[in-house]
Amino acid sequence: MNEADARRLERRASLLKTLAHPSRLLIVEMLEERPRCVTELTEAIGADITTVSKHLAVLKRAGFVRDRKRGTHSDYELLCGCISHFVDCVEKGMDACSSQAARVDAGEERQGAGTGSG
Amino acid sequence: MNEADARRLERRASLLKTLAHPSRLLIVEMLEERPRCVTELTEAIGADITTVSKHLAVLKRAGFVRDRKRGTHSDYELLCGCISHFVDCVEKGMDACSSQAARVDAGEERQGAGTGSG
DNA sequence: AGTATTATTGGCGAAATGGCCAAGCATGTC
DNA sequence: GACATGCTTGGCCATTTCGCCAATAATACT
């Protein structure tokens, strides 16, 4: 494997890792509705505010969100409005493939991944 | 947050976590071409075969792949042919949003996530 | 049976992650 | 200035992840 490929895979893995936490997924979903301050997100998540703040820092460093200061508040805003949609796709795809796998197990052959981006 | 939501987020995070490793992403990409045995994947990854075997076990447990025994070989096969496509989307979306973020920084408002599932 | 090949599992150490507490910083209010 | 509010950072600990080594299992070949 060449180095460019390695970097590409590292980057992708890093993006996925950023999203791979329940609290961060919830944050993303909530920010898809509208920007929110840390306190609001903290209430929804039910964790310590310092924990949520760190989750937000992770999302920010990865480029998923940005923050705008408003007085003592930090309003966090999603920079890419379609993230949950992608996660949706993965999940739906997996579900579809579960039944597909069952069919394959029964002896049929896979035709072509029909569970695409719809 | 209710318990059903919590479970849903847990499941999604778990799926993403499974994919969030460079070696596992490479495995997925290679298996999109055709099934491969562990040795073949190991050579491409350049890690110890025991490490690769464990990565495959992770993917298998999550339902992304299955293995068929062929003599002393284990051929791994992708159960969902469209995974890389989703990752592609996230990455492209992020790239698109980077420039979008730049515009937002410059004072414009976000219209609606135009970087969708294309 | 004996040996080689292929893959999996257990174990250990190094590193990363996640969570809360304590402390600190920035802004607003009195 | 003093105090309150909202948020962030540093620190510590528990847990998880990752990678290699050693050992084991399963199959093929002689």
- The model's pLDDT over B74-97, given as tens digits with 9 standing for 90+, comes to 999 999 777 777 777 777 777 766
Is the dihedral angle over the CA atoms B12, B17, B22, B28 positive or is it negative? negative
Residue B72 pLDDT > 60, yes or no? yes
pLDDT beyond 90 at B104: no
Residues B44 and B73 in one domain: yes
Last residue of a domain, one of B63, B78, B93: B78
pLDDT of residue B76: 98
> B14 and B50, same structural domain?
yes
Q: Across the interface, do B20 and A21 touch by the CB < 8 Å criterion? A: no
In A1-80 the beta strands, taken as DSSP E runs, fall at 36-37, 65-70, 73-78
Asked whether residue A105 is assigned to any structural domain, the reply reads no
- pLDDT tens-digit profile of B24-71? 999 999 999 999 999 999 999 999 999 999 999 999 999 999 999 999
Residue A1: which of B16, B44, B90 has the nearest Cβ?
B44
A91 pLDDT exceeds 50? yes
* Nucleic strand C interface residues, CB < 7 Å: A 17, 20-21, 23, 47-48, 50-51, 54-55, 58, 69, 71-72; B 37-39, 42, 49-50, 53-54, 56-57, 67, 72-74
- Domain tally for chain A? 1
State how far the Cα of A65 lies from the Cα of A80, in Å rounded to an integer.
8
The whole domain housing B57 covers 3-78
In a domain, A55, yes or no: yes
In the 8-state DSSP scheme, what is residue B81? T
Give a yes or no: residue A32 inside a domain: yes
Q: Looking at residue B72, which CATH number applies to its domain? A: 1.10.10.10
Share in percent of chain B as helix, strand, coil (round to 5): 65, 10, 25
Domain membership flag for residue A34: yes
Q: Are residues B45 and B86 in the same domain?
A: no
Q: What is the pLDDT of residue A99?
A: 56
**Cβ–Cβ of A26/B1 closer than 8 Å?**
yes
| B74 and B43 within one domain | yes
Per-residue pLDDT at A64 exceeds 90: yes
Shared domain check, B90 and B112: yes
Contact B17 A20 (CB under 8 A): yes
First CA to last CA across chain A, in angstroms? 32
Over residues A33-56, mean pLDDT: 97
Residue A96 lies in a domain: no
pLDDT of residue B115: 37
Residues A8-20 have a mean pLDDT of: 94
Same domain, B34 and B87: no
Residues B91, B111, single domain; the answer is yes
Identify the pLDDT of residue A89.
74
The answer to whether residue B112 scores a pLDDT higher than 50 is no
Q: Which residue has the higher pLDDT, A83 or B9?
A: B9
Question: pLDDT value at position A28?
Answer: 95
Same structural domain for residues B55 and B26?
A: yes
B14 in the same domain as B66: yes
Please tell me whether residues B67 and B98 are part of one structural domain. no
**B63 and B101 together in one domain:** no
